[in-house]
Amino acid sequence: MMVAALSLGIWLYLLFGRGWFWRMRERAVGASAGGSARPAGGWPAVVAVVPARNEAAVVGHALRSLAAQEYDGPFHIVLVDDASTDGTAEAARAAVDHPDRLTVVRAAPLAPGWSGKLWAVAEGVRHAQRFHPEYLLLTDADIVHPPDNLRQLAARASTGFEVVSYMATLRCRTPAERLLIPAFVFFFFMLYPPAWIADPRRRTAGAAGGCLLLRAEALERIGGIAAIAGEWIDDCALARAVKRSGGRVWLGLSEGTRSIRAYTTFWEMGRMISRTAFTQLRYSAWLLAGTAIGLVVTYLAPPALTLAGAQPAAALAAAAWLAMSVAYYPVVRFYRQPVFWAPLLPLAAAFYLGATLHSAVAYWRGKGGQWKGRRIA
C-alpha cells in the first residue's frame, strides 16, 4: 500500500511539478520556436567544430549538411581527426565541394587528464580562433542538420542565451531503438527540464552536445574547454559551467536535427548506456543504491502491483501506471511510434537499471566502459 501510494505521488509530482518537461510542446521544439529573424546586430560569425574518431561511415553526411547551411553570416567548419584509422579525414574532404569552407586538422596525442572527445574539441576550438568566431557550433560527426539549423540556433542565441542546444532526433527503427530511444529522451528531459534550464533563477543546467551553439566569450569566461577537460558527460558539464558563470542556457528538441548513428541491437544499446551510467552517479555506491530503489518504486512497482497486488494498493498502482503512460505518450508520439509503447516504459526502465548495475560492476572489477578504444573508467 505505501509503495503504491508513493509511486502515485511521484508521478503526480512529475506530471505537475517538474516544469512540464514531458509535454514536448512547440515552445520546447527548437526548430520552430526560436524563429529565424535576422538578429539586430546581424548574423554572427560561427565556426563549427566536429570531433571525429573513426567516423568514415557517417561523417560525410554530417559535413554535407553543414556545408549546405542557409546562413548569411561568416561560417566555417573545422573537422578534428582524432587518430582515426578508417579514413575519416579523407571522407570528410571528399564530402565538401568547397575546400575553403572546411579545415581538417589532426588532433595531437591525447593529453593526461582529458577525455578523448574534449581533447579533440579543444584542438578544434584552438584552430577555430583564427576565424575570429563569435559563436562555436559544437556538433558530432553523426549529426545531420536541416538547412536552416544554424540560422535557427543563432536567432535563439540572439535573444540572450550563451548556450543553445538541440536534442537531436535519434534513430528509432529497430525493436531495441523503439523501446529505449524515446525513453532516453524522456529520462534526459526529466533530469534536465528545459523550462528550468532556461530559467536563470534555477541552478538546473543541461545541454545536448550533438548540436550546441556556444558564445565564444562565454567559453573564454569559464576558462575554455580545459575547465571541463576530464568530464565524460561533457555537454551538461559545459552548460553547468556557463550558467554558474552568469550565462543563460537553452535546450530544445529538434525534429529536423537527426543522428544517423544506429544502435540496432539491445547489446549495442546496453553498451552505450553502460559506458557512462556509473560515471553519472560519480562512482558512488550510495547513489547507485538510491537510483536503483528510485527506479523500482517509480517505474517497476506500478505494473507489478497493478497485476499482482491486492486492493486498494492495486488501484493506486494502476493510477500511477496510467499517469506514467500519459507522461510518456508525447515522447512516443514525437518519435512516431504506436501508442501501445507508452505503457511499456517500465520495460525500458528495467533495461536502463540493468545497464547501470552492469556499469557499476565493470567499474569495481577494473573493467570500466570503453569507447572507441579509450578507457572511460
Task: Please state the domain extents for the chain.
Answer: 2-19+271-375, 35-158+201-247
Please list the residues that pair with 375 across neighbouring strands. 370
Mean pLDDT is lowest, of 33-37, 105-109, 297-301, 350-354, for: 33-37
State the average pLDDT over residues 278-297: 92
The pLDDT value recorded for residue 26 is 46
Q: What is the DSSP letter of 335?
A: T
Tell how strand 75-81 and strand 46-52 pair up: parallel
The helix/strand/coil state of 211 is strand
State the average pLDDT over residues 323-350: 97
Alpha-carbon distance of 187 to 196, in angstroms, equals 15
State the average pLDDT over residues 47-64: 96
Q: Tell me the percentage of the chain whose pLDDT exceeds 70.
A: 94
- Where residue 34 falls among pLDDT bands split at 50, 70, 90? very low
Question: Any residues with CB less than 8 A from the CB of 124 and at least 6 apart, and which?
Answer: 49, 50, 51, 78, 79, 80, 105
The pLDDT value recorded for residue 31 is 42
pLDDT tens, position by position, 213-253:
999 999 999 999 999 998 878 999 999 999 999 999 999 99
Other C-beta atoms lying within 10 Å of the C-beta of residue 138: 28
| pLDDT above 60 (res 369) | no
* Inter-residue contact 258 to 169 (CB < 8 Å): yes
Alpha-carbon distance of 222 to 85, in angstroms, equals 34
Spell out the alpha helix ranges (H) of the chain.
2-16, 30-33, 59-67, 88-95, 116-128, 149-157, 175-191, 194-198, 216-221, 234-244, 266-280, 285-295, 301-308, 313-334, 345-364
Long-range contacts of 65-69 (CB under 8 A, 24+ apart): 65/143, 65/144, 65/145, 65/146, 65/147, 65/149, 66/139, 66/145, 67/95, 67/96, 67/97, 67/98, 67/101, 67/102, 68/147, 69/145, 69/147, 69/148, 69/149, 69/150, 69/151
Largest CA distance in the chain: 70
Higher local confidence (pLDDT), 209 or 12: 12
Buried b / exposed e along 293-311 (16+ C-beta atoms within 10 A): eebbbbbbbbbbbbeebee
- Where residue 309 falls among pLDDT bands split at 50, 70, 90? confident
Alpha-carbon distance of 5 to 3, in angstroms, equals 5
Class of domain 35-158+201-247: alpha beta
Residue 47 backbone phi and psi in degrees, to 5 = -120, 125
pLDDT tens, position by position, 82-129:
999 999 999 999 999 877 899 999 999 999 989 889 999 999 999 999
* Inter-residue contact 252 to 194 (CB < 8 Å): yes
Nearest to residue 249, comparing CAs of 226, 277, 270, 218?
A: 218
Higher local confidence (pLDDT), 116 or 161: 161
Average pLDDT, the chain: 91
Nearest to residue 215, comparing CAs of 21, 5, 39?
A: 39
Alpha-carbon distance of 363 to 369, in angstroms, equals 8
| pLDDT above 60 (res 62) | yes
Question: Any residues with CB less than 8 A from the CB of 355 and at least 6 apart, and which?
Answer: 269, 270, 273, 274, 277
